[in-house]
A and B are shown apart, each in its own frame.
Chain A
Amino acid sequence: MKNNVNIMSKIVCFSFCLLACFSCKHHENEYHSITDKIEAESKNYQGTSISSEAHIGDIKTIEITEGEHTFLIPERKSQITSYACTECHTKSLEQMQTKDFQQAHWDVKLDHANSNTMNCLTCHNGSNMDHLTSLTDQSIDFNSSYNLCSQCHTTQFEDWKGGAHGKRIGGWAPPRASMTCVNCHNPHKPHFESRWPARFNTQKVKERE
């Protein structure tokens, strides 16, 4: 029994020495902070095998390049139910607003900035209904309507290009696909509605009673 204890204590001693020599914490504090680590480890970034392409799904996309950012946005024109506009807008607006024509767009009520700043014709061109129009009367395609929004919303535009504003489609990996302005904001009423939260935790209430 004593012999055993002796051997045991030797083993314990030895393993303690081993532990001290080969401590598990080698690489701790290799970098001062996570930002240093990210910077150092991404210097020779080779890319990954992971792609998000499959997760974009059936959404038809177009590639755009804005500044140094190139990414995909959803194609818009095929998603607008009554496009092309000229299918109905065969006559001039004055003629179409008479009683002989069926009333349309009754559900559109402009709630975007105030009437001093905006009306329908700030964005729409009465003589070219199939295109949008910039503040300086340049034609803007419905597919690149972000060019219209970015005239006023410059900071949001910068954030959107970089990826801080606007939701990603699919996944985090390349290729990047982002929602464009009108995918989340109704251009006629761009603010988000207030509503009730999606859920309420009844158990938490009981636990805290």
Chain B
Amino acid sequence: MSDSNNKWFSLNIGRKDREASKSCSCGKTSGGCGGSSNAHHITEDEFTEAAIHASIGEERTKDGFEQVFDVKMDRRSAFKKLTASLLIGAGAVSTSCSVISGDESKEKAQIDWEEQFKGNYKLMTDDEKKATVDRLVRSYQLRTGKTISMSSKNAEDNVLFGYAFNISKCQGYMDCVNACVEENNQDRDSQMQYIRIHEMKDGKGFNFNEADDNYYHEVPAEGHFYMGTQCFHCDNPPCTEVCPVQATWREDDGLVVVDYDWCVGCRYCMAACPYDGRRFNWSKPEVPEAEINKNQHYLGNRMRKKGVMEKCTFCVQRSRAGKNPACVEACPTGARIFGNLLDPDSTIRWVLENKKVFRLKEDLGTEPKFWYFMD
């Protein structure tokens, strides 16, 4: 974490003289280089100081009273920050400097430390992206003994993802919802789902007030039609504008994604989305170990924590590899069409150019890349 080319806060800013104390020169990240030289060992004091510096930064030049009461933040958050980083520091120190604890727990502590103070994924270089993905994979391995594969594949040039939904084909079977939950490791307890299928009365148009999005009877029901909503991956997304920490953004291939580790869970984006496309983890997502999809992407279906936003990513782990999103693959009626909007020969382009397509709330100027059409 002492790289000088980091674009975010790092422990070394303005404190070059302390550099030697931050990492071992042996290059091992597990924390236990085993060298006899004392210079390479992080003393408890230095570690704590680093932790304080990490949490309150330049304010540490002031004395203790000023630090807490004379800064432009409310007291509660000041206390919180101080205590949190002290705890983290103490925890890291106790595990990484302990003689008793094994190499594994030291490595775990080191990973936790680096993950805690890593930057925003959006600003990372490819190497940094790979490093955090490797850390997450290793951390999962250390914790569960299972190996997952996680990708940090970037958006491809000449790709802009788009989606079309045929409302005369959808029969309301909800196979897409099942596939989505399994593919994206969604919490089984809270039954949070990215996709909603709305059952609407024929002849009433898109009347969401009277639509039923949680039906359970034989489908298709007489006199009804079905339409699905999810994140529409707007080209001009209002949700990303309101994020106070820029934890959500639009990727170059048009996917609107969330960095779950940067999200603070304020849910502004949820309020800003005019399509109810975003979901919040009110509880810690639980997925039975056997059902975890191990083919993951940093911005996609990796395991989330409590208190962060998530949403449909057009299955970034699949779509960037050339596969269709899980919902498209699961749909037995072929109502869902996915593809590259920039490819003039793609099927999605044919649909847009030859069918009568429309989008929801077009007048908002959000430019959703999710079109509806009929036979």
Instruction: Indicate if the CB atoms of B328 and A164 lie closer than 8 Å.
Output: no
Q: What's the least CB distance linking B169 to chain A, in Å?
A: 8
Across the interface, which residues of A come within 8 angstroms of B166, CB to CB?
A: 164
Select the stretch in B14-22, B108-116, B261-269, B317-325 that faces chain A: B317-325
Residues of A within 8 A of B213 (CB): 204
Instruction: List the B residue with the shortest CB-CB distance to A40.
Output: B342
Q: CB-defined interface of B173-192 with A at 8 Å, one 1/0 digit per residue? A: 11101100000000001110
Interface string of A50-62 (1 = CB under 8 A from B): 1110110000000
Min CB–CB distance B275 → chain A (angstroms):
15
- A200 near B216 with CB under 8 A, answer yes
Do the beta carbons of A164 and B347 come within 8 Å of each other? yes
CB of B105 within 8 Å of the partner chain: no
Return the CB mask of B341-373 against A: 1 if under 8 Å, else 0.
111111111111011000000000001010001
B287 to chain A, nearest CB (A): 15
Tell me if A's interface is mostly helix, strand, loop or mixed.
loop
Q: How many residues of A contact B (CB 8 A)?
A: 50
CB-CB under 8 A from A50, the residues of chain B are: 156, 159, 320-322
**6 pairs of residues in contact across A and B, judged by CB atoms under 8 Å:** A54-B322, A171-B318, A172-B339, A199-B177, A201-B191, A208-B214
In the bound assembly, the distance between CA atoms of A184 and B143 in angstroms comes to: 44
Could you tell me which B residues sit within 8 Å of A by CB distance? 156-160, 162, 164, 166, 169, 171-175, 177-178, 189-191, 193, 197, 213-220, 235, 318-324, 328, 331-334, 337-352, 354-355, 367, 369, 373, 375
**Which residues in chain A, 54-98, are within 8 Å of chain B measured between CB atoms?**
54-55
A126 interfacial by beta-carbon distance below 8 Å: no
A-side contacts of B158, CB under 8 Å = 45-48
CB distance from A36 to the nearest CB of B (A): 10
C-alpha spacing A178/B173, complex, angstroms: 21
**Given the known A-B contacts A176-B347, A199-B177, are A170 and B216 also in contact in the complex, defined by CB atoms under 8 Å?**
no
Instruction: Give complex CA distance A52, B334 in Å.
Output: 18
Ranked nearest first, the 8 interchain pairs of A and B with the lowest CB-CB distance are A163-B347, A167-B334, A162-B350, A203-B191, A197-B174, A42-B342, A34-B367, A171-B323
Check if A52 sits within 8 Å of B173, measured CB to CB. Answer: no
Contact present for B324 and A45 (CB under 8 Å): no
Can you add 20 more A-B contacts, CB < 8 Å, to A165-B334, A199-B174?
A42-B349, A45-B158, A48-B159, A50-B156, A50-B321, A52-B323, A159-B355, A162-B347, A167-B331, A171-B321, A171-B323, A174-B343, A178-B347, A192-B332, A194-B171, A195-B173, A198-B173, A201-B214, A203-B189, A208-B214
Contact A41 B191 (CB under 8 A): no
Q: Looking at the complex, which one of A54, A168, A170, A192 makes contact with B347 (CB distance below 8 Å)? A: A168
B189 to A, closest residue via Cβ: A203
- Most chain B CB atoms below 10 A, which of A37, A48, A54, A156: A48
Chain A residues within 8 Å of B339, by CB: 172
Closest Cβ–Cβ distance, residue A191 to chain B (whole Å): 10
Q: For residue B221, which residue of chain A has the nearest CB?
A: A194
Per a CB cutoff under 8 Å, which of A47, A171, A197 touches B324?
A171
Tell me the dominant secondary structure on chain B's binding face: loop
* Neighbouring A residues of B350 by C-beta, 8 Å: 162-164
Rounded to whole Å, the gap between the CB of A188 and the closest CB of chain B is: 18
Contacts of B342 in A (CB 8 A): 38, 41-42, 45
**What separation, in Å, do the CA atoms of A50 and B350 have in the docked complex?**
20
A204 neighbours in B (Cβ, 8 Å): 191, 213-214
Which residue on A lies nearest to B217, using beta carbons?
A: A196
Does A159 lie within 8 Å of B375, measured CB to CB?
A: yes
Residue numbers in A under 8 Å from B172 (CB-CB): 197
Tell whether, in the assembled complex, residue B322 and residue A55 are in contact, meaning their CB atoms are under 8 Å apart: yes
Known: A42-B342, A50-B321, A198-B177. A203 touches B354 (CB 8 A): no
Minimum CB–CB distance for A32 against chain B, Å: 10
A34 x B218 contact (CB < 8 A): no
User: Smallest Cβ distance from B174 to chain A, in angstroms?
Assistant: 4
Query: Are B344 and A200 in touch, CB under 8 angstroms?
Result: no
Q: Are B178 and A198 within 8 A (Cβ)?
A: yes
Partner of A202 from B162, B191, B349 at Cβ < 8 Å: B191
B322 touches A168 (CB 8 A): no
The answer to the question of A154 belonging to the interface, with a C-beta cut-off of 8 Å to chain B, is: no
- Chain A residues near B346: list those with CB within 8 A: 163, 172
Neighbouring B residues of A172 by C-beta, 8 Å: 319, 322-324, 328, 338-340, 346-348
Kindly state whether residue A149 has any CB partner on chain B within 8 Å: no
Q: How far is the CA of A25 from the CA of B89 in the complex (A)?
A: 39
Please indicate the chain B residues that have their CB under 8 angstroms from the CB of A174 in the complex: 343, 345
Cα–Cα distance between A155 and B375 once the two chains are bound (Å): 9
Do B323 and A55 touch (CB < 8 A)? yes
Contact status of A42 and B218, CB under 8 A, knowing A33-B367, A159-B375 = no
User: Which residues from chain B contact A195 at a C-beta distance below 8 Å?
Assistant: 173, 218-219
Q: Are the C-beta atoms of A34 and B369 separated by less than 8 Å?
A: yes
CA–CA, A155 and B354, complex, Å: 12
Contact among B322, B332, B344, B354 for A164, CB-based, below 8 A: B354
User: CA of A33 to CA of B157 in the docked complex: distance in angstroms?
Assistant: 20
Considering the complex, give the chain B residue whose CB is closest to the CB of A68: B345
The CA-CA distance from A46 to B157 in the complex, in Å, is 9
A197 pairs with B341, CB closer than 8 A: no
B218 and A52 contact, CB distance less than 8 A? no
